[in-house]
Structure 1
């Protein structure tokens, strides 16, 4: 077993972990990010980059490079059923005063992560270790003092002043924080598959709600990554009914997919994402703090997960960076424990944004689920009064929460 040392050990090379590593290294903090995979290529990662994140990329001087990665842009939020449009809202019309960016960029998350890693590699205090599987924490009597991980078949110890759980919705480190979860649940699951995309098709997200499900298609240049939302717990029932019935079900909601659904040839082409909305009661314990999906698992509704994760990273870097720099100068830093109140600042800063966003997601999921269960012969459109509310206050509120954020983060200094 080998042992290394760093000031900050981050488990997870997703948006939260990589962005935090970049921002801390930019301040001169020694940071090591552990990513269990050999690359960032994952089909089921969010591709929507909202104005709140575009502002951060601009502050880092990366906006021009990022623009080269963009596959499409959304200038409006649209919610529709197979019976008609529920909401259409131009994003620029509800933008905060002075907003520089007023659209949602669509870019593969793996390209965004590669861009952030290239920027982070400019700083000598940044280290990224790929194919490093986190096994657990290094714990001493007073708290967490680093991570244990496996790489190349060998176990390693990475001692750290602070450990960060940024390892996503299936975090192996949540139990080491040990504060339990607030579970809001979810009435939906997502079945993922891909179909070919024609060059002359729209570049923006394509989404519609119908009986039996809701379909959202994400532009991946030469193919659509399709998320088909179904009532929670119905995956086995759908598979038992057979693949032709599933194709017909999707086609009944998204007729434009047509014969391309025949490209879904076996159930191996359809992956289940079980959706849960939950968060840690406390995001930190002595020596360790959680950010991103490890702290608060989001629904895919609104595509806000990546942007909240990056907001967490920016807040954490702003709040913890100066204290970590001071700790780094102390020769006895691995014998001492950083004041736990310092780590608590991250939750104090980010909790309200998380709680409000999750609550709106749950309400939205419930509404989508109700529409998909509409009986034959009944309209999928709500009554006129409810529709007026959706097209008025709701249409203005949702973009402000999901697109521009409740509390924007900016890079300090």
Structure 2
């Protein structure tokens, strides 16, 4: 698969703009981005008594069609924090198997029920509920501060060292100075752009349309991939609804829009005839979220005073639903490595390099797995109108356990040590 390197870096630092600063604050760690990586890192540092400020650009956590899958790796982290039982009290669904179905056969791709853990399943929990749960826990610590509606616009740099950020919101410009700034602001990371980081990018063969349809009591539970002639559809059990990912060829969204809603509904029913009795619930394009699938990772995740984690450091394909879990594992490793330096008031490049060193190989392995599945299955299905035959190796009994472990944990699962 072709790769290339891009960079926004400049050989000269731009002069610091002059703003009317409403207020200036200091903290040990300023985290930009209130997604899973940022929220969990903030909680872990707050538990250590480290002053931490979490800046979130939006005024709430409620965004539709964000990743909702919490894997066994994260549930074990929650258990280490004493939070797993309380998290399980929130309304959720469980997936114990991932299956692929064609008109001819059904194959179990991954079976999580065989994992040796209390959490032998993937938990489906709306991300907004997870983030509210984590930040509510963090707010029990007086050294934690959450600022919603904080739109970070600039890095504070002095002699090549990042010293914090400036953000707009709450009546003007605000300044936060910190020993360490962490960018956890997602796949469209502002801090990645401001920091001039170079990335290695790949070219996934697909994009995704997300939507929801009602789930009937007689419908099967769990997760199911459905393959038809030239189409792939993935159904995730969300209790009373199916959350559905409809895979389309890369760059094909406008063509699908042009053919109209009726043509889309027809193509969905061709793949999953059981949806015929509810497809009319899909009435307009506002019910559909478009995801341009990307996959990339930074060459280097850090500069002096600045570290990127989660999707800001490595944009994941939706294959396997692993993005949240790798982001949270990044946060755990960052907390393990950086808690003591932050307490001592000095974070060096070697500390930041250690975070990347521990997380880069697991990231590269899962992205290679995602690329393999995209090319061997998705690309071949979407590029042909012929019925796709599942490859024989997908039927190997040991493979479903191997893939279950890879999807559930990765190769080096992170654990809380601080």
The TM-score with structure 1 as length reference comes to: 0.91
Show the counterpart of 2:388.
Answer: 380
Q: Deviations over 1:340-392 (max 9, x none)?
A: 2211111001000000000110111122221233434xx4223xxx4145434
Structure 1 regions of 5+ residues with no counterpart?
328-336
Return the alpha-carbon distance in structure 2 between the equivalents of residues 203 and 106 of structure 1. Answer: 12
Return the alpha-carbon distance in structure 2 between the equivalents of residues 56 and 405 of structure 1. Answer: 14
Return the alpha-carbon distance in structure 2 between the equivalents of residues 200 and 126 of structure 1. Answer: 46
Show the counterpart of 2:351.
Answer: 342
Are 1:251 and 2:269 matched, yes or no? Answer: yes
Question: Which residue of the other structure, out of 382, 396, 401, is the alignment partner of 1:396?
Answer: 401
SS across alignment from 1:86: strand
SS across alignment from 1:157: strand
Show the counterpart of 1:75.
Answer: 96
Match runs of 1:210-225 below 5 Å: 210-225=228-243
Are 1:412 and 2:391 matched, yes or no? Answer: no
SS across alignment from 2:361: helix
SS across alignment from 2:190: coil
Return the alpha-carbon distance in structure 2 between the equivalents of residues 81 and 153 of structure 1. Answer: 56
- 8 Å CA contact retained: 2:338, 2:347: no
SS across alignment from 1:407: coil
Return the alpha-carbon distance in structure 1 between the equivalents of residues 154 and 373 of structure 2. Answer: 36
- 8 Å CA contact retained: 1:214, 1:228: yes
Shift of 1:76: 1.9
Return the alpha-carbon distance in structure 1 between the equivalents of residues 217 and 59 of structure 2. Answer: 31
Match runs of 1:276-355 below 5 Å: 276-327=294-345, 338-355=347-364
Are 1:62 and 2:67 matched, yes or no? Answer: no
- 8 Å CA contact retained: 1:87, 1:391: no
Return the alpha-carbon distance in structure 1 between the equivalents of residues 301 and 103 of structure 2. Answer: 41
Q: How many pairs are equivalent?
A: 396
Return the alpha-carbon distance in structure 2 between the equivalents of residues 89 and 13 of structure 1. Answer: 31
Return the alpha-carbon distance in structure 2 between the equivalents of residues 246 and 272 of structure 1. Answer: 14
Change (3 A) 1:284 1:179: same
Return the alpha-carbon distance in structure 1 between the equivalents of residues 192 and 395 of structure 2. Answer: 37
Question: Which residue of the other structure, out of 3, 28, 41, is the alignment partner of 2:49?
Answer: 28
Return the alpha-carbon distance in structure 2 between the equivalents of residues 224 and 396 of structure 1. Answer: 25
Deviates more, 1:236-245 or 1:196-205: 196-205
- 8 Å CA contact retained: 2:223, 2:234: yes
Show the counterpart of 2:132.
Answer: 114
Match runs of 1:354-369 below 5 Å: 354-366=363-375, 367-369=377-379
- 8 Å CA contact retained: 1:46, 1:305: yes
Structure 2 regions of 5+ residues with no counterpart?
1-20
SS across alignment from 1:173: helix
Show the counterpart of 2:34.
Answer: 13
Shift of 1:203: 4.3
Match runs of 1:138-287 below 5 Å: 138-199=156-217, 201-287=219-305
SS across alignment from 1:25: helix
Change (3 A) 1:101 1:157: same
The TM-score with structure 2 as length reference comes to: 0.90
